[in-house]
Amino acid sequence: MNTDKSPLKSALQAIAAQVEQAMQAELQEHLAAADPLLKEVLHYSLFSGGKRIRPVLCVISARACGRDDSALYSLAAALEYLHTATLMHDDVIDHAPLRRGRETTVERFSLADAILAGDWLHARSLYLVGRLTAAAGLEVFCRATEGLANGEFLQKRLAGDPAATEADYFEVIRQKTGNLIASACALGALYAGARPEQVAALRRYGELVGMAFQIVDDLLDYTGKGAETGKELGNDFREGKLTLPLLRALAAAGPDERQAMRALIAGDRSQPAAVTQMTVCIAHLGGFRSAAATAREYIARAVQELSGLLAAPASAAHAALLQELAEYILIREK
Amino acid sequence: MNTDKSPLKSALQAIAAQVEQAMQAELQEHLAAADPLLKEVLHYSLFSGGKRIRPVLCVISARACGRDDSALYSLAAALEYLHTATLMHDDVIDHAPLRRGRETTVERFSLADAILAGDWLHARSLYLVGRLTAAAGLEVFCRATEGLANGEFLQKRLAGDPAATEADYFEVIRQKTGNLIASACALGALYAGARPEQVAALRRYGELVGMAFQIVDDLLDYTGKGAETGKELGNDFREGKLTLPLLRALAAAGPDERQAMRALIAGDRSQPAAVTQMTVCIAHLGGFRSAAATAREYIARAVQELSGLLAAPASAAHAALLQELAEYILIREK
């Protein structure tokens, strides 16, 4: 499929390949004396067709701020390690059978393996960040990881609660997804020794891109093609996560529609019919369209943060790639 | 009970109280905006009557190397955070109902809470270590936490395997317990700006003390008073962990006894009668006595590592406390 090979995709795939090489080399060296099953679990979890969004953003951010050397790819790897660690733990918590179209780590191996290998990756990622970006980077990164856990608590608290607001939703996705993607960009900039205002601008770019990414994820959870997302549809609804499309539909609903939707939320959400009815309801009330418009706004705001980098000849090409990447997020299908 | 209040215990309790104050202050400030349930889970898990061995060792090590200020107690807190995080995850993996005489975090709250709050503590501990001891400390600490996960994999691989050797056992306890206690001492020394040979000596002291501590733990798992350890007896055997008393008994057994013990290992270990029979067997074959003798040897070697500090007037009193603490580990009953 040559149409798939846009210049953007080629550029991103080239960076992702460099990050994967760094991961392979790093693991081979560092796991030389490790237990064979730990190695197997880590390889299974890390090389499973992930999109590598976080490490790629880290690399482009560093390049945009003027630095590109071999250790940058170890720093980028740290972001994928942490992301993978959180997915492994999330899948334990959610008893998720599938991710990216194949068995989750907990399903393929065991609860113990998924928890422990996740802890290993967590430690390794923090070590790499501390070594490569010192205290300033470690602070950014650790606060993001604390925010991830805190965001999960918040999300759990809100599950199935019809009083959950849009502000709650945005706070959850900021902590769960925005923070870490913001860190990816900020760490790349810190690694490159960027000026504080550049670090801050890339941090905000990352946060906005991350939130848009999550909004699109939440849209695809209802409307995606299962074969492409590699997950079952309607998971969020089944778990009681009231994501933006549903919240927008609720806000647009008349009294009767709202009552019907609340009954679906309070009812047996595991029924396939309930997912279907809710999906139809949201579509009818414009919830998907409205959520997509918000994702577009976030991306537009993210791109504005790049104006300084786009204006400087030395960074313009990299910043243009960040812009394209941000805009691509809106049309992704998996 | 005045007999309990030896000068050693008073000294240790005073340090533990300072560490707990630092933990309370640190959490209050840092968790101000966190989810209320996260706060509750963290407080439940962190303030549950732990012995605070790791932070206390960190503090005494730093004092022995000439530094004692308020941030030292935050560094010490980081060691308790990480230790608690690993216990929370271990209890999820082992489905353990009780620890320290009360419900484990996973039992009291939920699987999600125990995993996520553990992750939060993990991140927080690494952040504190990175901030207070820079890259050198972070490397020591992260390698210890990677070793913890790797040691669990190794232990799982060996579970119920009658071919497991003493060398395997010592490798597991070095990774699972020796490493982190070694880090506690090394980090205290690094924080104090100690000379490399002092850091190394305290590191080895901590590793040996940690391994002796684990051997005693493994003894108490068979012979302890349930009310004092706060755990069920015979857990290790039920889980197929072949600890030192059992390995020593196997080595001392004649062919018939060995066959009987192997049958118990391969049989239904969850039967109370199986635990009792194995305990009697080990006692009869001198396995407990032999394991206790090894713990004593480790402590003697640990104390030897203190010779340099004991000889210097400025550090002698602190080193003497480390010596007493090491020797106390041999007679603890919980």
Residue A197 to residue A202: CA distance in whole angstroms: 9
Q: Which residue has the higher pLDDT, A297 or B98?
A: A297
Domain that holds residue B125: 2-206+303-329
* Interchain proximity B124–A117, CB inside 8 Å: no
Tens of pLDDT, residue by residue over A72-81, are 999 999 999 9
Question: What distances in angstroms separate CA A6 from CA A10, A12, A18, B124, one per listed residue?
Answer: 6, 10, 19, 42
Return the structure tokens found at A248.
Answer: 């927008």
Can you give the pLDDT at residue B2?
46
Q: Per-residue pLDDT tens for A276-332?
A: 999 999 999 999 999 999 999 999 999 999 999 999 999 999 999 999 999 998 887
Which whole number is the average pLDDT over A70-95? 96
**Is the pLDDT reported for residue A90 higher than 50?**
yes
Task: Name the DSSP letter for residue A325.
Answer: H
Q: Does residue A262 register a pLDDT over 70?
A: yes
Query: Given a cut of 80, is residue B296 above it in pLDDT?
Result: yes
CA distance A46 to A49: 8
pLDDT tens digits, B119-173: 999 999 999 999 999 889 999 999 999 999 999 999 989 988 888 999 999 999 9
Percent of chain A with pLDDT strictly greater than 90: 82
CB pairs under 8 A between A and B: 128
Q: A286's torsion region: left (phi>0), alpha (psi -120 to 50) or beta? A: left
Cβ contact B131–A134 (<8 Å)? no
- What's the number of domains chain A is made of? 1
User: Among the listed ranges A131-135, A144-148, A208-212, A230-234, which one has the minimum average pLDDT value?
Assistant: A230-234
Of residues B202, B208, B188, the one with CA closest to residue B309? B202
Does residue B334 carry a pLDDT above 80? no
**Distance separating alpha carbons of residues B26 and B18, to the nearest angstrom:** 12
pLDDT at position A2 over 50: no
pLDDT band at A4 (very low <50, low <70, confident <90, very high): low
pLDDT at A98: 86
Q: Does A89 sit within 8 Å of B119, measured CB to CB?
A: yes
Cβ A89–B116 below 8 Å, yes or no? yes
Averaged pLDDT for residues B271-279: 94
**Does A70 fall in a domain?**
yes
- DSSP E strand boundaries for chain B: 98-99, 102-103
Partner residue opposite A142 with nearest CB, options B92, B112, B126: B126
More confident: A197 or B98: A197
Q: Do A35 and B153 count as a contact with CB atoms less than 8 A apart?
A: yes
| Predicted pLDDT at A6 | 86
For the ranges B3-7, B168-172, B191-195, which has the lowest average pLDDT? Answer: B3-7
The ipTM of this complex is 0.91
pLDDT at B6 over 90: no
> Does the pLDDT value for residue B175 go beyond 80?
yes
Q: What is the mean pLDDT of residues A46-63?
A: 94
Asked if A120 and B92 come within 8 Å (Cβ–Cβ), the reply is no
pLDDT of residue B227: 55
- State the nearest Cα–Cα gap between A185 and chain B, in angstroms: 19
Position A70 pLDDT exceeds 80: yes
Q: How far apart are CA A323 and CA A304, in angstroms?
A: 9
Tens-digit pLDDT profile for residues A127-146? 999 999 988 999 999 999 99
**Where residue B141 sits, what CATH number does that domain have?**
1.10.600.10
A-interface mutation test, from B30, B113, B115, most A Cβ less than 10 A away:
B115
Tens digit of each residue's pLDDT (9 = 90 or more) over B9-58: 999 999 999 999 999 999 999 998 899 999 999 999 999 888 899 999 99
Residue B126 lies inside a defined structural domain of this protein: yes
Task: Using only the alpha carbons of chain B, give its radius of gyration.
Answer: 20
End-to-end CA, chain B: 17
Tell me: the pLDDT tens digits for B213-238? Answer: 999 999 999 998 765 555 678 889 99
Q: Which residues of B touch A153 (CB under 8 A)?
A: 34-35, 37-38, 113, 116
Residue B178 lies in a domain: yes
**pLDDT value of residue A162:** 82
Residue B305 has a pLDDT of 97
Residues A63 and A18 sit within 8 Å (Cβ to Cβ)? no
CB nearest A37 (choices: B35, B122, B153): B153
Instruction: Residue B145: list chain A partners with CB under 8 A.
Output: 119-120, 123
A3 located within any domain: no
Residue A103, classed as helix, strand or coil, is strand
Q: B-chain residues within 8 Å CB-CB of A89?
A: 115-116, 119
Please tell me the predicted confidence (pLDDT) of residue A1.
42
Crossing angle of helices A70-94/A36-46, nearest 10°? 90
Q: Distance (Å, rounded) from C-alpha A65 to C-alpha A72?
A: 12
Query: Above 70 in pLDDT, residue B1?
Result: no
Q: What is the DSSP letter of B306?
A: T
pLDDT value of residue A305? 97
